[in-house]
């Protein structure tokens, strides 16, 4: 399996369970590894034959920026669904980092892997 990755995609959004988190946007950092058919794209050298990571980034910036979830777990599931369903990706590994959410910890978040249902 070939992988196209999109890492360190930083998006400002409302997320969290505490009152102060519901009032102010915080940075969420996404790392995505997505299954891709790289040999097919390499043969044609055409963007239509590969996963357009710019289109993925644009869609996720819009979605996450407009969202207001309480849990990073919910955000992760919705992002994975978008990637799998809207971009014809067969498998995705997603890391959602809510940097600074826990004092004395550099990174906090979830990592999920999901596959498309055939």
The mean of the pLDDT values for the chain is 94
Predicted local confidence at residue 118, as pLDDT: 59
Total domains in the chain come to 1
Catalytic residue, from 23, 54, 98, 99: name it.
98
Q: Is 98 a catalytic residue?
A: yes
Got the DSSP string for 77-100? HHHHHHHHHHS--SEEEEEEE-TT
CATH of the domain at 54: 3.30.1130.10
Predicted local confidence at residue 8, as pLDDT: 98
For residues 104 and 30, give the distance between their C-alpha atoms in angstroms, rounded to a whole number. Answer: 21
Chain position carrying tokens 């990755």 = 5
Q: Helices 53-66 and 72-86 meet at what angle, rounded to 10?
A: 140
Cα separations in angstroms, 90 against 32, 36, 62, 65, 118: 13, 8, 22, 25, 9
- Cβ neighbours of residue 57 closer than 8 Å, sequence gap 6 or more: 6, 9
Q: Residue 33 in contact with residue 3, Cβ under 8 Å? A: yes
Q: What is the pLDDT along the chain (118 residues), one digit of tens a residue?
A: 899 999 999 999 999 999 988 999 999 999 999 999 899 899 999 999 999 999 999 999 999 999 999 999 999 999 999 999 999 899 999 999 998 777 888 889 999 999 998 5
Predicted local confidence at residue 64, as pLDDT: 98
Predicted local confidence at residue 102, as pLDDT: 78
Predicted local confidence at residue 60, as pLDDT: 98
For residues 37 and 95, give the distance between their C-alpha atoms in angstroms, rounded to a whole number. Answer: 22
Q: Which domain holds residue 35?
A: 2-115
């Amino acid at each position: 399996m070939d992988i196209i990755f999109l890492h360190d995609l930083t998006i400002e959004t409302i997320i969290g369970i505490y009152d102060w988190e519901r009032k102010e946007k915080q940075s969420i950092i996404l790392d995505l590894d997505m299954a891709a058919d790289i040999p097919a794209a390499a043969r044609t050298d055409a963007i239509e034959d590969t996963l357009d990571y710019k289109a993925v980034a644009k869609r996720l910036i819009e979605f996450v920026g407009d969202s207001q979830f309480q849990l990073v777990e919910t955000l992760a599931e919705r992002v994975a669904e978008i990637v799998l369903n809207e971009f014809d990706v067969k498998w995705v590994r997603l890391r959602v980092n809510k940097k600074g959410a826990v004092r004395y910890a550099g990174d906090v978040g979830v990592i999920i892997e999901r596959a498309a249902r055939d």
